[in-house]
Structures are given as C-alpha cells and as structure tokens.
C-alpha cells in the first residue's frame, strides 16, 4: 500500500465510523420509539373507545326496550347515564338531545375493537386533540395532547385543587362548578362545561378526559344514537408513561454519551497516530509522508487552484562525507539545524516543509513571480550555507514549478485533478541532479528541455543493447601525422551511432549516458573487437597499417582481469597486439593506482602500447607520470585554443614535451587546427599531431584511402 492509501485507511478507521454509528443509532431508536408510541396510543385509544362504544350500545338497547314497551319517560332513563347524546331519525332529523351538540364535520367510518369499519365517528369542535381519520381509526395529536394535559388539567389542579386529596366528590363539584354527574365511573365537567375531569370514588381528581362522538344504529329505518365517548387520561398513567419515557431517554442519552466519548477517544487516538505517521525520527519535524499527503492536499485546495506553487528538492551536498569525518550523531544534529532553518522560512498555513531522505528536504513554496521566487531561493540557499558557523556547506536545489499563469511552460501546466505531488517532486529531483556534476551551491528549474533530455536518456538506455546487437555503432578513424614529414603514423578510433530511427547521432549525445549507466564497458568491448577486425582485414589486404588507439573507460579499470579481456578480444580477431594502443583518460589515475599500474604492466607485457589521453585537461599529477609506465602522452586540445601574447602556453607545451621525452614517452598533440601550431610542435619535437589541420574523423573506407596515400 502507498503512504496515501495507508493514511486514508487510518482516517476511515477513525471517528467517522463512530459518528455514523451514533447517528444511525439515534435515528433507529427514535423511529422505533415513535412507531412503538403510536402503536401503544392506538391500542389504548382502541381499548377505551371499545368500552365507550359498549356503553353507548347499552343506551341504545335500553332505548329500544323502553320504546317497544311504551314507556313514556324513555329519555329520562337515558339521561341517567349523564352522557351527552342525540337521537336522529332515518332522515337525519334530531328527535331528542341531551347537552350541546358539539360535533364537528362529517362522520367518518372507523373500526373499534371488533367493529371493523362499522362505526361512524365525529370530532368534537371544542377539542382538536382527538379525532377520527380516514384511515379508519381514532387519532391523537401528541403535541396538542401534551399542551391540553398541561394547561387544562395539571395547571388548574395546581392552582385551585391543592386540597382535593382530602375532599370528597361533592366538595370537588362545588369547587369546579355544577356539572352533570355520569354513570361513567368518577367523571364530571369543569366550571366552564368544557374541561372534563376524572375523579376517583374517594373524591380525588386523578385526570381528565377528551370527547369524541360515536354513532350506534338502533333499527333498520336509520334511527341512530350518537353519544359523546370519553377518552380518559389518568395522572397515574401519565406518570408511568413519563417514567418509561424518562428511562428510555436516559438509556438513549447514556448510549449516545458512550458513543460520543468513544468517538472523542478515537479522535485523540487518530491524532496521535497521525502525529506519529507524520513525524520524522531524525529532525522531529515533518517527514516524507507529511509532504506527500499534506503537500498534495494544499495544492488541491479549492482556494489554491489559481495560485502558483513551486515544489523544491534541497540536498545537503557531501553529507555522507561530513558524517564519515565527524559522526552520525553530529550529522543528524546538522540535519535538525537545516530543518529548523527551512521551517522558520516557510509559512505553515500556505506552504509545506519536510525532511525527505538523509541529505534531502522537500518544500512546497507559494510564489507570485518567478523573479521573486528566484530571489527567495537564492536567499534561502545563502542562509543554509551558514547553518553552522564552523563549517560552510553547499546546498543544491531542484525546482518544479506548478504555474497556473497564462505564460506557463507546458511542463508547468498541471491539471488540478491529475496533480500528483510525488511526480512533481520527482521532477524537482531530476532538475537538481543536473547540478550534481559539481559541489557548488545553486538551483535548477525543471523545464521542457530537461524533459526532452530525460526522454532521450530513457530512449538511449532502452535501445542501447539492441544497437550493439544490430551493429548500429560505426567506428570512425582520425589519423595522426608526423608534423616533420607529414607521414601517417597512427589513428584514434572514435564511435558514431547510425540509428535507423534517429539517423546519425554524435557521441556527445550518448557516450555520457553510457558512462553514467555503466554500458560504456560494452562499448569498449565493441570498439576493440571492430578495430582489431579492421586492422586484421587491412593487414591481409596489404595496407600499411599503423597503431590505432582505442579508448578504454575508467569504469573498466576496476576489473582485475582487464588486461586479459583486452588480449582475448584482440586475439579473437587474430590481430597483432602492436597494432592496438590502449588509451585511458587521466581521471583513471585517481582510482586505485596500484591496481592501475599492475594492469598497465600486464598490457605492455602482452605487447600493447598504453597512452594517457587529455593530459592537462584535469588535475594532472606529475607524480602519476613518474609512477605510470606509459608509452604515449596526449596533450589536451585546450593547450592549442586561444592566443597567449606572453608565450606562457608555448612554454607549458614545450616543457610537457621535454618531460615526456625524458620519460621515454611519445607525444601526441590533439586538437591542432592551424599551420603555426604544427610548425611550433614540429620544432619542439612533437611526435604526432591529431586534428582538423590534417584530417577530421572519417569512416573506415575513407581511412583506407589515407593509408594508401601514406
């Protein structure tokens, strides 16, 4: 898994799941309670309405019996029930009524108990708390019910019935006003004939009641008795329901608190894990993971989509040497100083700073103009050079611009959705590597040309092996002449690449790549084999062959059997050893000198001449000349470029020739282009000249003509 995926997994396993669990738990619990509450209320209403409907049926039965027996005072008997009612004939006309007809709206068919959809019910216009609904049942409005119970039942009792516990029913009636006592156990009206109280048999007010009108059919002719049914609510029932609701609420609160506390604990744990995840063990600051995740988050924030940023890779040059010279502990202390300095010079909200690898640091810097960014980077590198008062360090930086301006280069335009900070940082590292040829402080910016160079590098490395297999590399020869006689005395083998895809490719475009990736050793073998084969072919054809020098790279001299490898390659072509000269650059002399001297001696023992190329191009060591048993010394072309009015250049060349002669070495001057230089070198005793004055590098067929000409 990548660091980004690990971080996302940590975040997913944090408080998010717990918070979702709390929310789901709350929703489910509330939903269950609401459904259960509705079912309970529906059951209670249905039970009480069934009892009320049975009472109304008894009234209807009594009416029918008394009516059929010819009883004159039928309504007097019905009034004994102390329940408001009306009797309607088949045409809906009122025959008799007790109390006020407070029905509201049209009747609705409902089901009560075993009377399924066979009961007609009416709401009471004075009470909007309980009412019939189209779905065939009696419904109760919870909010209106609670308001009614608090204001019409509890509050009046608190204000005017403080002593009802010791009063009898008659005393309560006197307090509440005259009303009509009913057969229904412990029920009567309040003082405004609207609020209905429930009173126990011992005279205590124990609750209230809500009316709804129910109709009972009495005969086939449509005679109906419509009576006021009472939905009684006792204080004790409400207390029990309140206790149950309180316990349920307490359970919900406790469980919610547990889940919230768990979420907070997870939040703390996640932050702690995140801090460990982002902490660098060496500097104590931000690490590479922080840079990858928080750096990309910064660049992808909506508010930053139109702002310019630079991803920077900074390396402390030669950090390993410092650690070897001092100690790892001191090296890490130095890294902490560097990090603190970088952190101090970045803005924590709008920029990012992190320690990446042992000697490198990553930055995400915001900028307005490129000139401003360059000034800031130069100032920052200058500060870093002085990070330790006892030492002066070098720092190199690579910069990848994320430029959202209109004049941005193609390599700087990064679509917001496709932005990957790892890729941007890698490009910054590639820009820094351009500076790795020296140890000087500076910075380089990734650009289109660098992209092309990297693409070419990748292409060369992809095709190098196939090019050798297909013999796409061609050997060119540059003759060497005796400046006194203009006679051909030797040649140097040079490589060219004739690519079927890219055409003619000069060595400057691929040799440095081979030297860096190690493929140069394969090229050395390739060149030796082809030069030896050419020499053998020319020798058999009767040409007057002269020694040809073949470059052997510095990388090859680490091999203990190099001399034997060269011998076997030349012998495979059956070419005389004296026709092959092994040429090495002076940089090889800075490696293992003892092993180098041993290899040179073995080569000379096999009959090969050995020469030093580019003498004077680097930091030549006269001591190396003293120790190395060389046959030929090649003076670098820089000796012969430009002019010197005071003659210092001629003095150096003259003394170098004299030194080589005294050491029994032949002298070759390369890069010679004008006759004055040829005349001077001839006068100083130079053995051979290689340069454009005599000939450019040429294919083997053209070199054959030179051999013919001599």
pLDDT of residue 577: 96
Let me know whether 187 and 119 are in one domain: yes
674: helix, strand or coil: coil
Q: 339 and 353 in contact (C-beta within 8 Å)?
A: yes
Using one digit for the tens of pLDDT, what is the confidence trace for 339-366?
999 999 999 889 999 999 989 999 999 9
From CA 596, how far away is CA 592, in angstroms rounded? 6
200: helix, strand or coil: coil
More confident residue, 75 or 268: 75
Mean pLDDT of 127-148: 84
Using one digit for the tens of pLDDT, what is the confidence trace for 159-192?
544 444 344 445 544 444 433 333 334 344 444 4
Mean pLDDT of 532-561: 91
The domain of 704 spans 462-709
DSSP string spanning 107-144?
EEEEEETTEEEEEEEEEETT--SEEEETTTEEEE-HHH
> Is residue 163 in a domain?
yes
Q: 431 and 445 in contact (C-beta within 8 Å)?
A: yes
Closest CA to 544 of 475, 488, 582, 591: 488
pLDDT of residue 2: 61
* Beta strands in 221-304, from DSSP E residues, in sequence order: 224-234
> Is residue 256 in a domain?
no
- CA-to-CA dists, residue 393 to 284, 318, 319, 346, 359, angstroms: 22, 9, 9, 21, 12
Say which CATH number the domain at 290 has: 3.30.70.270
This prediction has a pTM of 0.58
More confident residue, 415 or 141: 141
Mean pLDDT of 122-147: 85
> Is residue 618 in a domain?
yes
Q: 191 and 183 in contact (C-beta within 8 Å)?
A: no
| Tokens 């046959």 belong to residue | 631
pLDDT above 50 for 470: yes
pLDDT above 90 for 206: no
Closest CA to 653 of 675, 673, 683, 625: 683
Let me know whether 235 and 292 are in one domain: no
Q: 212 and 122 in contact (C-beta within 8 Å)?
A: yes
Using one digit for the tens of pLDDT, what is the confidence trace for 23-35?
787 788 778 877 8
Burial status of residue 703 (CB atoms within 10 A of its CB: 0-12, 13-18, 19 or more): buried
From CA 56, how far away is CA 183, in angstroms rounded? 12
Q: 604 and 630 in contact (C-beta within 8 Å)?
A: no
Let me know whether 414 and 524 are in one domain: no
Instruction: Using DSSP bridges, classify how beta strands 137-140 and 130-133 pair: parallel, antiparallel or unpaired.
Output: antiparallel
Let me know whether 96 and 183 are in one domain: yes
Structure tokens, 551: 């470059």
More confident residue, 438 or 284: 284
Say which CATH number the domain at 518 has: 3.20.20.450
Domains held by the chain: number: 3
In the structure, what pLDDT confidence band is assigned to residue 118 with cuts at 50, 70 and 90?
confident
> Is residue 489 in a domain?
yes
Let me know whether 134 and 233 are in one domain: yes
Mean pLDDT of 645-667: 86
More confident residue, 169 or 237: 237
Mean pLDDT of 287-312: 90
More confident residue, 275 or 494: 494
Instruction: Using DSSP bridges, classify how beta strands 395-402 and 442-445 pair: parallel, antiparallel or unpaired.
Output: parallel
From CA 154, how far away is CA 146, in angstroms rounded? 10
pLDDT of residue 153: 77
pLDDT of residue 641: 66
pLDDT of residue 141: 86
pLDDT of residue 162: 46
Let me know whether 435 and 467 are in one domain: no
Ramachandran sector of residue 364 (left: φ over 0; alpha: ψ -120 to 50; beta: rest): beta
- Report the half-sphere exposure of 630 (CA within 13 A, side-chain side): 30
pLDDT of residue 189: 44
- Report the half-sphere exposure of 320 (CA within 13 A, side-chain side): 1
Q: 644 and 650 in contact (C-beta within 8 Å)?
A: yes
From CA 255, how far away is CA 565, in angstroms rounded? 82
pLDDT above 90 for 268: no
Let me know whether 380 and 321 are in one domain: yes
pLDDT of residue 184: 35
Cβ partners under 8 Å of residue 423, min gap 6: none
Let me know whether 135 and 68 are in one domain: yes
């Amino acid at each position: 898994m990548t660091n980004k995926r690990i971080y996302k997994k940590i975040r997913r396993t944090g408080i998010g799941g717990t918070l979702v669990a709390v929310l789901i738990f709350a929703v489910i619990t509330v939903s269950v309670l609401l459904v259960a509450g509705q079912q309970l209320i529906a059951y209670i209403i249905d039970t009480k309405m069934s009892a009320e409907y049975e009472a109304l049926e008894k009234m209807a039965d009594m009416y029918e019996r008394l009516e059929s027996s010819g009883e004159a005072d039928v309504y007097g008997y019905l009034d004994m029930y102390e329940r408001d009612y009306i009797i309607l004939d088949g045409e809906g006309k009122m025959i008799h009524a007790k109390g006020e007809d407070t029905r509201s709206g049209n009747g609705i068919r409902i089901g009560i108990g075993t009377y399924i959809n066979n009961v007609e019910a009416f709401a009471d216009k004075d009470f909007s708390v309980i009412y019939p609904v189209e779905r065939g049942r009696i419904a109760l409005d919870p909010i209106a019910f609670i308001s009614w119970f608090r204001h019409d039942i509890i509050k009046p009792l608190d204000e005017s019935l403080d002593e009802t516990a010791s009063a009898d029913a008659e005393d309560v009636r006197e307090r509440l006003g005259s009303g009509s006592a009913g057969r229904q156990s412990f029920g009567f009206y309040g003082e405004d004939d609207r609020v209905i109280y429930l009173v126990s048999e011992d005279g205590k007010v124990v609750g209230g009641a809500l009316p709804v009108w129910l109709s009972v059919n009495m005969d086939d002719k449509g005679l109906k008795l419509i009576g006021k049914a009472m939905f009684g609510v006792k204080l004790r029932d409400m207390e029990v329901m309140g206790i149950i609701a309180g316990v349920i609420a307490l359970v919900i609160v406790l469980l919610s608190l547990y889940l919230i506390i768990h979420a907070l604990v997870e939040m703390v744990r996640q932050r702690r894990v995140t801090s460990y995840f982002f902490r660098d063990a060496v500097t104590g600051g931000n690490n590479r993971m922080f840079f990858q995740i928080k750096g990309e988050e910064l660049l992808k924030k909506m508010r930053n989509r139109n702002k310019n940023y630079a991803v920077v890779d900074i390396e402390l040059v030669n950090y390993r040497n410092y650690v070897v010279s001092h100690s790892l502990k001191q090296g890490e202390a130095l890294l902490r100083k560097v990090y603190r300095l970088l952190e101090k010079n970045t803005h924590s909200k709008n920029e990012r700073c992190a320690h990446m690898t042992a000697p490198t640091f990553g930055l995400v810097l915001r900028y307005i103009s490129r000139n401003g960014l360059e000034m800031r980077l130069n100032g920052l590198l200058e500060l870093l050079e002085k990070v330790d008062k006892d030492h002066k360090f070098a720092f190199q930086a690579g910069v990848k611009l994320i430029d959202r301006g209109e004049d941005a280069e193609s390599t700087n335009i990064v679509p917001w959705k496709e932005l990957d900070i790892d890729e941007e940082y890698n490009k910054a590292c590639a820009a820094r590597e351009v500076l790795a040829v020296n140890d000087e402080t500076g910075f380089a910016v990734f650009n289109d040309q660098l992209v092309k160079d990297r693409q070419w590098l990748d292409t060369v490395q992809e095709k190098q092996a196939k090019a050798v297999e297909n013999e796409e590399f061609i050997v060119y020869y540059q003759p060497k002449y005796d400046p006194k006689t203009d006679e051909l005395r030797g040649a140097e083998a040079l490589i060219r690449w004739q690519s079927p895809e890219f055409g003619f490719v000069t060595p400057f475009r691929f040799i440095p790549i081979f030297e860096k990736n190690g493929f140069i050793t394969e090229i050395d073998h390739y060149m030796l084999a082809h030069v030896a084969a050419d020499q053998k072919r020319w020798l058999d054809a009767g040409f007057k062959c002269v020694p040809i020098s073949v470059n052997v790279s510095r990388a090859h001299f680490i091999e203990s059997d190099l001399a034997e490898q060269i011998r076997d390659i030349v012998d495979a072509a059956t070419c005389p050893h004296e026709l092959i000269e092994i040429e090495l650059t002076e940089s090889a002399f800075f490696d293992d000198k003892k092993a180098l001297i041993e290899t040179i001696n073995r080569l000379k023992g096999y009959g090969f001449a050995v020469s030093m190329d580019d003498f004077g191009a680097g930091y030549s060591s006269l001591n190396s000349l003293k120790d190395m048993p060389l046959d030929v010394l090649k003076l670098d072309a820089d000796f012969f470029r430009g002019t010197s009015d005071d003659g210092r250049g001629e003095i150096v060349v003259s003394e170098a020739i004299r030194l080589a002669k005294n050491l029994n070495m032949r002298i070759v001057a390369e890069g010679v282009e004008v006759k004055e230089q040829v005349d001077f070198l001839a006068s100083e005793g130079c053995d051979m000249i290689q340069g454009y004055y005599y000939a450019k590098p040429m294919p083997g067929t053209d070199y054959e003509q030179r051999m013919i000409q001599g």
